Amino acid sequence: MTRHTGSDDGDETSGTDESHGIDGTSDDEPRGRTDDEPRGSADGDRCGCGSADGTPQPNVPEIGRDERPAIFVPDEESEERGGPADAPRTATDGGVESATGGSDSTELDPDAYDPIDVFPEGDLDLRDGADSCYKCTSCDTSCPVAEVDDEFPGPKFQGPEQWRLKRKDDHDIDESITSCSNCMRCDDACPSSVPLSQMHNEARGQFVEEQMEKLSLEYVRNRILANYRTSARLASVVPRLSSFAMNFGPARWAMDKVLGIPKEREFPEFATTTFREWWRDRGGAQVENPDKRVAYFHGCYSNYNTPEVGKAMVRVYEHFGYEVLVPPQKCSGTPMFANGMLKDARRHAETNVENLIEAIGDGADVIASCTSCSMSLRQEYPELFDIHGIEDVSNHTFEALEYLRIHEDLDGALAESDGPGDEQSFAYHAPCHARNQGLARQAVETFRDVDGVEMEDVGDSCSGISGTYGWKSEKYEKSMQIGEEMFDHMEEAEGKVGMTECPTCAMQMEHGTGYEIEHPLQLLEETVVA
Ligand code: SF4
Ligand code: SF4
């Protein structure tokens, strides 16, 4: 096994070599469950989510929801690979036995990766998805941007209608696609499983690639926002100075005027010790357990801004006897998808898939503490990229609390605990991307019976920030308008501390109410570990 002790840049691996197979329970069993399904038990069905006939019923979003291959493969490229142009593409693997038994490769070999360009050779073949739309407009009524922006035509236009329009050679992508925040609420709302966000990602990527002026300030600003990891990595060299400089009034005014980054927003503080530095300094994993192993995808924000979330995750998982791996990793790509920077996203995805598939080969499942990161690894990667191992990464990825609820008796552990000490009340917001993974109720369900904890769900509205959407001056007011319902409900709730799994929703919650915001893993640590 390769042990990842990590480094501050996420690109260093060190450790010892010994071989372990995949956790015998993890590959053959169904993964995930819906909110209403029973929890796992100590019997063979650890996750407790298999159907009576043994058919997996994963909580993982359906990939390639139309029945045709989700990834566009140019005819000539497909034929070069030895298959007919329309041959269905099956799950790939990284030299590990696939959960579906579809493995046919032996070693993890980066040279064997066969990524393709989504652009410029052609488009994803989403005709079946487009044809599934029966114009019910459920997606339009669920769209938070359409609600506040009269010029935004809504997801039905951005999805199936635009997809058909751009089949015509002389038809440009409508610029309004850049106003879609990629919240993915329309995916969740569509009764016909039209792959709306896949269509939006493709159209936005194509617009940015082919129509957007690369020297425009808008493109430069969006590129900076999309590549947050790069800025955060630089800022973290001198974290105190960076935190001060970025929140210095004249600097914020200049960024607003020159780049279009709203002066109203407070920049998040940079941690003086990143998560990966902390991980390295403590000597990596404190628990060795080949039977319970997870690879932590911390994402950029937990590394550079809120390492306390990552530390809580490690302590909680080690408390339950897990060996935690922290593989080298880059950005999940979430802000890149939202800004149409698909080439950047694919570059990062290649690194992530390469390292995560190695951890999966070492018997780990992948967990993320950010619901947008888990969404990206589970759904957006395989919907947009064809990278060796990507389906296995998708199938092995979970949100961190979700995974514990599936595999551990969390209710029992919480019932035995003395609670968090002082009585605590929280105003909980479920991020849109959690909602899309069926996780909207998980924090409330986890803590509702815990002595000394009050957890109030503040409703199903969008926070309005949607990653980088609310970080654009021209969108700032709309972002706050979308968030208004959540702010009101937070203020009506008894709890004066907010809770959410998404770091940018946390920013918006804090910005709109002034509340301190916690991650559910932090409360779990306080309750079961402390
Ligand atoms: S992803 Fe969100 S903003 Fe974009 S069209 Fe769908 S609901 Fe609207
Ligand atoms: S919800 Fe689905 S079926 Fe209804 S209009 Fe939107 S894309 Fe079409």
CATH number (domain holding residue 199): 1.10.1060.10
Lowest mean pLDDT among 23-27, 47-51, 375-379, 517-521: 23-27
Whether 424 and 396 map to the same domain: the answer is no
Whether 279 and 397 map to the same domain: the answer is yes
Model confidence at 110, in pLDDT bands (50, 70, 90)?
very low
Model confidence at 23, in pLDDT bands (50, 70, 90)?
very low
DSSP assigned state of 80: H
Domain that holds residue 460: 410-529
Residue 162 vs residues 141, 146, 202, 462: alpha-carbon distances, Å: 18, 16, 11, 24
Q: Token pair of 518, please?
A: 């916690």
Is residue 338 a part of any domain in this protein? yes
Whether 277 and 396 map to the same domain: the answer is yes
Q: How far apart (Å, rounded) are the C-alpha atoms in residues 127 and 195? A: 10
Q: Which ligand 1 atom is nearest residue 158's CA? A: 5
Burial (CB < 10 A; 0-12, 13-18, 19+), residue 443, is buried
Q: How far apart (Å, rounded) are the C-alpha atoms in residues 341 and 223? A: 7
Q: How far apart (Å, rounded) are the C-alpha atoms in residues 396 and 356? A: 9
Whether 304 and 401 map to the same domain: the answer is yes
At residue 50, the pLDDT reads: 36
Q: 3-class SS at 428? A: strand
Whether 429 and 496 map to the same domain: the answer is yes
Burial (CB < 10 A; 0-12, 13-18, 19+), residue 378, is buried
At residue 461, the pLDDT reads: 96
Is residue 118 a part of any domain in this protein? no
Please say if the pLDDT value at position 18 is more than 90: no
pTM of whole model > 0.85? no
Whether 430 and 315 map to the same domain: the answer is no
Is residue 52 a part of any domain in this protein? yes
Pocket lining for ligand 2, CB < 6 angstroms: 133-139, 156, 159-160, 189-190, 192, 194, 196
284, 512, 525: which is closest to 400 by C-alpha? 525
Q: How many structural domains is the chain composed of?
A: 4
Torsion of CA 390, 394, 399, 405, to 10 degrees: -140
Pocket lining for ligand 1, CB < 6 angstroms: 142-143, 145, 155, 158, 180-186, 196-197, 200
Ligand number with the minimum distance to the CA of 185: 1
- Ligand 1 atom 2: the closest Cα is on which residue? 183
**Tens of pLDDT, residues 290-316:** 999 999 999 999 999 999 999 999 999
Whether 131 and 43 map to the same domain: the answer is no
Q: Are residues 453 and 527 in contact, defined by beta-carbon separation less than 8 angstroms?
A: yes
At residue 1, the pLDDT reads: 39
Whether 403 and 417 map to the same domain: the answer is no
Give the residue-averaged pLDDT of 410-423.
88
Whether 277 and 393 map to the same domain: the answer is yes
Is residue 111 a part of any domain in this protein? no
Give the residue-averaged pLDDT of 52-70.
35
Instruction: Provide the mean pLDDT of the chain.
Output: 81
Give the residue-averaged pLDDT of 102-111.
35
At residue 166, the pLDDT reads: 78
Q: Quick check: bond before 290 cis, omega within 30?
A: no
Whether 192 and 289 map to the same domain: the answer is no
User: Could you tell me the distance, in angstroms and rounded to a whole number, from the CA of residue 455 to the centre of ligand 1?
Assistant: 28
Please say if the pLDDT value at position 277 is more than 60: yes
Is residue 198 a part of any domain in this protein? yes
**Tens of pLDDT, residues 181-196:** 999 999 999 999 999 9
Q: Are residues 179 and 497 in contact, defined by beta-carbon separation less than 8 angstroms?
A: no
**Percent of the chain having pLDDT more than 70?**
76
Domain end: 349, 382, 407, which one? 407
- Ligand 1 atom 6: the closest Cα is on which residue? 186
Model confidence at 164, in pLDDT bands (50, 70, 90)?
confident
At residue 240, the pLDDT reads: 96
398-430 exposure pattern, b = at least 16 Cβ within 10 A, e = fewer: bbbbbbbbbbbbbeebbeebeebeeebebbbbb
**Tens of pLDDT, residues 320-358:** 999 999 999 999 999 999 999 999 999 999 999 999 999
**Percent of the chain having pLDDT more than 90?**
72
Give the residue-averaged pLDDT of 258-263.
95
Kindly list the strands in the beta sheet with 365-368, ordered across the sheet, starting from the edge strand earlier in the chain.
Answer: 323-325, 293-297, 365-368, 397-399
Q: Are residues 463 and 486 in contact, defined by beta-carbon separation less than 8 angstroms?
A: yes
Contacts (Cβ under 8 Å, ≥6 apart) of 414: 446, 447, 449, 450, 527, 528
